[in-house]
Structure 1
Amino acid sequence: MNEGVNRQDGRAERWRQHRVERRREFVEAAIRALDRHGPDAAMADIARAAGVAKPRLYRHFTDKAELFVAVAERASELVWDRLRPALSEPAAVRDRVEQSVRAYFSAVAEHPNVFRMVGERRFLTRTAQPDPVAVGNTAMAALIAAVFDEYLRAHGAHSTGTLPWAHGIVGSVEGATRWWLADGTLGQQEIVEHVSVLVWGAMEAVLRSAGVTVDPDQPLDLDLDELPTR
């Protein structure tokens, strides 16, 4: 009897893994369709990119909104995967800021239509649906706050303001990103430079308010092994 149960459990697990893999494949197909057709890409466009009939998509996603939620979550992963190593890279603080901003915009520039769709929240068609952008922004703010905390600890200081500071920076960068994607007058290098100035200025000001003055060009070794993960 146990052997039969184990076989059933094994089949169920293989089926679950299959569904996870297929969903992942369809999300990547949706990204390709968005890259090609823009934020208005239709389910038919996504099905063609995936090489399947459109009804096959609905076996894994209730509707387009649910699929776009998964795409938004994947976009957050792309940003996270590039930003976290940049934050962890040993460097002077101002260089670390620019590396991080550059890493972020490299993801945006690679898939601008995906981030246009995400910025416009085209997936929020049901009020009960969680906003993956808000979830991702909260995680990103926690990461930046952890960096603030580590800088403060390195100078024997502490502040309760690290999370609100971090959320303010995330919101500012998100707003600048939406403007950049909509306006189109600045190149990638220019927006990286401008946003780096914004982020560094904010960091310098908030650290100073906590009694910490950081030389922007002085390398500072920080213990960032305990940075939060997604």
Structure 2
Amino acid sequence: MTEPPGGKGPDKGDARRDRWRSHREARREEFVQAALRALAEHGPDFGMEHVAAAAGVTKPVLYRHFTDKADLYVALGQRGTELLFERLIPALNNEEAPVPRIRRSLHAYFSVIEEHPNLYRLLIRRPFGRDVVAEDKELIGAALSRLLGDYLRALDMDSGAAEPWGHGIVGLVQNVSEWWLERRTMSRDAVVEYLTQIIWAAIDGIVRQHGMLLDPDQPIEVNKVVKLSSRRAP
């Protein structure tokens, strides 16, 4: 049977475009992984030649997929957010008792910082004019604020403190993580445990002021999850 003119041409063209788009996305991801390896070896001052060498290609091949170094930096920033949220979101949403939940979330955050220290150092420099770290802080702070507000209302408490509390926790953790990253005067387990106790002491103190007691090792009856997306607008 003869195929009608134009019967499947557009479909085949769309399929080819989709395959080419998928191929380019896969190659960009390969080069981002190579950039992470170059970062680990050469530090935040790595060059495109280091990325090309890590990927086993020439610089012209690299520039077919990234318009310039800033374009690669943006991709690294997006990958950094993905790495963080891939671990942080499940930890925050684990319906555990308060202290184990706090501890697990802190371990998730510090594990990414520990495994990719040069990526974090690069991103706080804002090399492409975009403050990825501040954007992630805002997302996490807003999500924690909503979570704390839900809990405060569930306990019949004033939820007005939820925002300063949520953003304050994020600021505390970031400042401590930057100090720890440069000093390393204690293990990751130790700094996580200190922070866990500090955060829990604040929560416990506020709750006690309202005449209530929470068991740090028992799940709260009304458990809440954190609504936090790992997708950031380009």
TM-score, length of structure 1 as denominator length: 0.84
Is 1:103 aligned to residue 117 of structure 2? no
- 1:27 maps to what in 2? 32
Task: Map residues 106-125 of structure 1 onto 2, 5 A cutoff.
Answer: 106-121=111-126, 123-124=127-128
CA shift for structure 1 position 105: 0.8
Provide the aligned C-alpha RMSD in A: 2.5
Task: Map residues 1-230 of structure 1 onto 2, 5 A cutoff.
Answer: 1=6, 3-121=8-126, 123-124=127-128, 126=129, 130-204=130-204, 214-224=214-224, 227-230=227-230
User: CA-to-partner distance for each residue in 1:154-175, whole Å, 9 max, x for gaps?
Assistant: 3234514423322222122122
Judged with a 3 Å threshold, the aligned counterparts in structure 2 of structure 1 residues 194 and 226 are, in CA distance, closer, same or farther, namely closer
2:74 aligned partner, one-letter code: V
CA shift for structure 1 position 53: 0.8
User: CA-to-partner distance for each residue in 1:95-138, whole Å, 9 max, x for gaps?
Assistant: 211111011111111122212222333x23x4xxx432232222
- Matched pairs, number: 225
CA shift for structure 1 position 93: 0.7
2:133 aligned partner, one-letter code: V
User: CA-to-partner distance for each residue in 1:1-51, whole Å, 9 max, x for gaps?
Assistant: 352222222222222222211111111111111112222221111111111
Structure 2 spans left out of the alignment, 5+ residues = 1-5
CA shift for structure 1 position 62: 2.2
Judged with a 3 Å threshold, the aligned counterparts in structure 2 of structure 1 residues 63 and 164 are, in CA distance, closer, same or farther, namely farther
Judged with a 3 Å threshold, the aligned counterparts in structure 2 of structure 1 residues 218 and 185 are, in CA distance, closer, same or farther, namely same
Asked if the contact 1:93/1:218 (under 8 Å) is kept, the reply is: yes
Asked if the contact 2:98/2:218 (under 8 Å) is kept, the reply is: yes
CA shift for structure 1 position 151: 1.8
Judged with a 3 Å threshold, the aligned counterparts in structure 2 of structure 1 residues 33 and 211 are, in CA distance, closer, same or farther, namely farther
Asked if the contact 1:38/1:113 (under 8 Å) is kept, the reply is: yes
* Percent sequence identity over aligned pairs: 42
Asked if the contact 2:34/2:51 (under 8 Å) is kept, the reply is: yes
2:49 aligned partner, one-letter code: A
2:180 aligned partner, one-letter code: W
Asked if the contact 1:152/1:212 (under 8 Å) is kept, the reply is: no
1:152 aligned partner, one-letter code: L
User: CA-to-partner distance for each residue in 1:178-220, whole Å, 9 max, x for gaps?
Assistant: 2111223222122212322343344445666888753323321
- Give distance in 2, aligned partners of 1:56 and 1:205: 58
1:69 aligned partner, one-letter code: V
- Give distance in 2, aligned partners of 1:57 and 1:209: 59
- Which structure has the larger Rg? 2
- Give distance in 1, aligned partners of 2:209 and 2:26: 48
TM-score, length of structure 2 as denominator length: 0.83
